[in-house]
Amino acid sequence: MATEQPRAFQSVWTRPRAGREQPALSREQIVAEALRLLDEEGIDALSMRKLGGRLGAGATSLYRHVANKDELIELAVDEIYGEIEVSASPDPANWRTDMTRCAHSLRATILRHPWLASVLGELGMSYLGTNWMRVSEAMLNLLTTARFPAAEADRALSTLVAYVTGMATSEAAWLNVLARSGQDEQTAVERLWPAAEEAAQDHPLLRESYSDQRGTDPRAAREEGFQYGLDRVLDGLETRLK
Amino acid sequence: MATEQPRAFQSVWTRPRAGREQPALSREQIVAEALRLLDEEGIDALSMRKLGGRLGAGATSLYRHVANKDELIELAVDEIYGEIEVSASPDPANWRTDMTRCAHSLRATILRHPWLASVLGELGMSYLGTNWMRVSEAMLNLLTTARFPAAEADRALSTLVAYVTGMATSEAAWLNVLARSGQDEQTAVERLWPAAEEAAQDHPLLRESYSDQRGTDPRAAREEGFQYGLDRVLDGLETRLK
DNA sequence: GCCAGCTGCGCACACCGTACGCTGGGCGCT
DNA sequence: AGCGCCCAGCGTACGGTGTGCGCAGCTGGC
């Protein structure tokens, strides 16, 4: 801090305090603040400078704790995976409801942090993150105790995960669009309507499907659509049981 | 090309030719070149300057034909969707094989252009692109002629699409990692092995699943895994038929 | 022959990720 | 007690990025 600006009246009050006034700067702190920034303003707003600023630090200070921006994001993502709940009920016969709850938890987590959608495709799944491994192991356990053929449990798992992430990703992308436009979901749908109708002009089935959904609560429709697909996937998996 | 340096000796030979020597610059041309660049070097390599350079034009010239980079990407994505084949066999009873072929075509398209994965999450699905609409309509047609309950066909469609994109996205992300590291898939897996094994130390089921896959051809395993999940999803959908 | 309109371009701005080398405080050793 | 090392944090700088703006020159219509 010894560098001198043309600052006029340097005094005890303007001069930075000696010593580390904050508990310094830690990887956990950085990731936590990054998450706050991401949740508030989305993926585009995350820059090393802004993040450093929020922590009362310079941009390049962060590099002492994190190799680069990509690694920071990887850490943030796995931190989020920590929010996913996988609870196994005592009776393995309840595997369907367990899996259902788990799938909803995964979806809800993604929708709570829609910026995830933008990075999942560049990251795969950061398969080796500790929190994700915890989730996979728990779900794998759920499936095997439900007497899923041992060699199949992992494939069943990735089937379900693919469905949930695929669905939630496209929902999250839509939420991102909403957030950027600042509109309410209901009114955004209404505004998109004419464009959609025109685009679907030569496609009778699509047009009918659209007009059937007109007026329904879009959020509820998303939820119901998710549940429908989830039920189908679980139906499909169930055929392999026993 | 016609671009001018700080020229010393202006002459007929250095002076830009009169008239448009190229068919100028069109949106189609721009999108086509963008696709070439994306396929060759991935999403990070796509910059307006580089793209302009490849077309013998300045970066900002592109903005005459495209509103901004995001719109350009949207166009590129829908262009890619044009590669998806949806063929309906004459007999509606074959809906499963039709859907299977279609799902494989979608997956193959994504894997042929792995940069798609990075972008799908920010785009949703660019639902209104003409090519995507063509694909949806065709698949919807396939499902309804297979006697799917009319109100359900669209939900069935999005279930299947969610599964396929979810699966293919995570595969594509892996392919992106591979491409960046320049390694062969087989050797990359082998190199990742120790890290994976250590990360899975406290997770017996994961560890077993890993070691079961050791030595198998990873590419074939991906294909088989995809087919497995696809069969399950179709099983699940089939329960709703009739 | 002239004029309008449009295309492409150069420049500029604000911002990005991050390599590098300095500084100054805290800690452990002598 | 004194010294020296280590290392967190910072300032600066470099080579990029997307894109707004206003100019120049060609082209087609009169």
DSSP string, B28-91: HHHHHHHHHHHHHH-GGG--HHHHHHHTTS-GGGGGGT-S-HHHHHHHHHHHHHTT------SS
Given a contact cutoff of 8 angstroms between Cβ atoms, the answer to whether B164 and B106 are in contact is: yes
Same domain, B140 and B230: yes
Q: What is the pLDDT of residues B134-171, one digit of tens each?
A: 999 999 999 999 999 888 999 999 999 999 999 999 99
pLDDT-derived band at A160 (thresholds 50, 70, 90) equals very high
- CB contact (8 A) between residue A225 and residue B158: yes
Residues of A (65-94) whose Cβ lies below 8 Å from B: none
pLDDT tens digits in sequence order for chain B, 242 residues long: 333 333 344 444 444 444 444 447 899 999 999 999 999 999 999 999 999 999 989 889 999 999 999 999 999 999 999 999 999 889 989 999 999 999 999 999 999 999 999 999 988 666 889 999 999 999 999 999 999 988 899 999 999 999 999 999 999 999 999 888 888 999 999 999 999 999 999 999 999 999 999 889 999 999 999 999 999 999 999 999 96
Q: Please list, in sequence order, all residues whose beta carbon lies within 8 angstroms of the beta carbon of residue A154, skipping any fewer than 6 positions away.
A: A140, B209
Six-digit token pair at A125?
A: 């799944």
Same domain, A43 and A124: no
Same domain, B112 and B226: yes
Q: Which has the closest alpha carbon to A41: A157, A176, A171, A164?
A: A176
Same domain, B39 and B109: no
**A75 located within any domain:** no
Q: Which residue ranges have CB below 7 A from strand D?
A: A 1, 3, 20, 24-25, 52, 56-61, 63-65; B 18-20, 46-50, 59-60, 63, 68-70
Question: What residue of B is the nearest CA neighbor of A42?
Answer: B122
Q: Which has the closest alpha carbon to B141: A209, A225, A201, A227?
A: A209
**B192 located within any domain:** yes
**B12 located within any domain:** no
- Most trustworthy range by pLDDT among A6-20, A93-107, A186-200: A93-107
Per the structure, the count of domains in chain B is 2
- Which pLDDT value is given to residue B127? 82
Provide the greatest CA pair distance for chain B.
80
Q: What's the CA gap between B139 and B141, in Å, rounded?
A: 5
Q: Which has the closest alpha carbon to A134: A98, A100, A93, A87?
A: A87
The one-letter amino acid at A196: A
Given a contact cutoff of 8 angstroms between Cβ atoms, the answer to whether B120 and A121 are in contact is: yes
The phi and psi torsions of B2 (rounded to 5 degrees) equal: -85, -5
Given a contact cutoff of 8 angstroms between Cβ atoms, the answer to whether B51 and B30 are in contact is: yes
Same domain, B211 and B178: yes
A234 CA to C18 C1' distance (Å): 47
Same domain, B36 and B99: no
**B20 located within any domain:** no
Number of neighbouring beta carbons within 10 Å of residue A63: 14
| Three-point CA angle A98, A102, A103, nearest 5° | 120
- Which pLDDT value is given to residue A13? 43
% helix / strand / coil in chain A, to the nearest 5?
A: 70, 0, 30
Tokens 């979901």 belong to which residue? A185
Same domain, B210 and B100: yes
Number of neighbouring beta carbons within 10 Å of residue B51: 22
Tokens 């000696």 belong to which residue? A18
- We report the CATH number of the domain holding residue B58 as 1.10.10.60
Q: Please list, in sequence order, all residues whose beta carbon lies within 8 angstroms of the beta carbon of residue B100, skipping any fewer than 6 positions away.
A: B230, B234
Residue in B155, B195, B212 closest to A225 by CB: B155
The one-letter amino acid at A9: F
- Which pLDDT value is given to residue A33? 96
Q: What percent of chain A has pLDDT over 90?
A: 76
Mutate to test the interface with A, among B74, B209, B213, B226 (most CBs of A within 10 A): B209
CA B28 to chain CA centroid, Å, is 19
Distance from the B170 Cα atom to the nearest Cα atom in chain A, whole angstroms: 5
CA B15 to chain CA centroid, Å, is 42
Same domain, B32 and B141: no
Q: Is the pLDDT of residue A2 over 50?
A: no
Number of neighbouring beta carbons within 10 Å of residue A76: 23
Residue in B140, B165, B232 closest to A159 by CB: B232
Q: What is the pLDDT of residues A73-102, one digit of tens each?
A: 999 999 999 999 999 899 989 999 999 999
Same domain, A119 and A232: yes
The protein residue nearest nucleotide C19, judged by CA to C1', is: A60
Given a contact cutoff of 8 angstroms between Cβ atoms, the answer to whether B169 and B110 are in contact is: yes
Sign of the torsion angle spanned by Cα atoms B207, B212, B213, B215:
positive
Same domain, A32 and A141: no
Q: What's the CA gap between A91 and B88, in Å, rounded?
A: 44
Six-digit token pair at B213?
A: 């896959």
Same domain, A102 and A163: yes
Q: Compute the CA torsion angle B75, B77, B79, B85 (nearest 10 deg).
A: -150
The residue segments making up the domain with residue B31 are: 27-66
Cβ burial, residue B30 (10 Å; 0-12/13-18/19+): buried
In order of A60, A171, B157, the CA distances from A230 in angstroms are 45, 15, 13
The phi and psi torsions of B68 (rounded to 5 degrees) equal: -165, 180
**B211 located within any domain:** yes
Residue in A116, A122, A203 closest to B118 by CB: A122
Same domain, B109 and B209: yes
Provide the greatest CA pair distance for chain A.
81
- Which pLDDT value is given to residue A140? 96
Q: Please list, in sequence order, all residues whose beta carbon lies within 8 angstroms of the beta carbon of residue B168, skipping any fewer than 6 positions away.
A: B106, B107, B110, B111, B117, B226
Given a contact cutoff of 8 angstroms between Cβ atoms, the answer to whether A84 and A109 are in contact is: yes
The number of C-alpha atoms within 13 Å of B12 and in the hemisphere containing its C-beta is 0
Given a contact cutoff of 8 angstroms between Cβ atoms, the answer to whether A213 and A196 are in contact is: no
Q: Compute the CA torsion angle B231, B237, B239, B240 (nearest 10 deg).
A: -170
DSSP H helical ranges for chain B: 27-41, 48-54, 69-81, 95-112, 115-123, 130-145, 153-181, 185-199, 204-213, 218-238
**B75 located within any domain:** no
- We report the CATH number of the domain holding residue B175 as 1.10.357.10
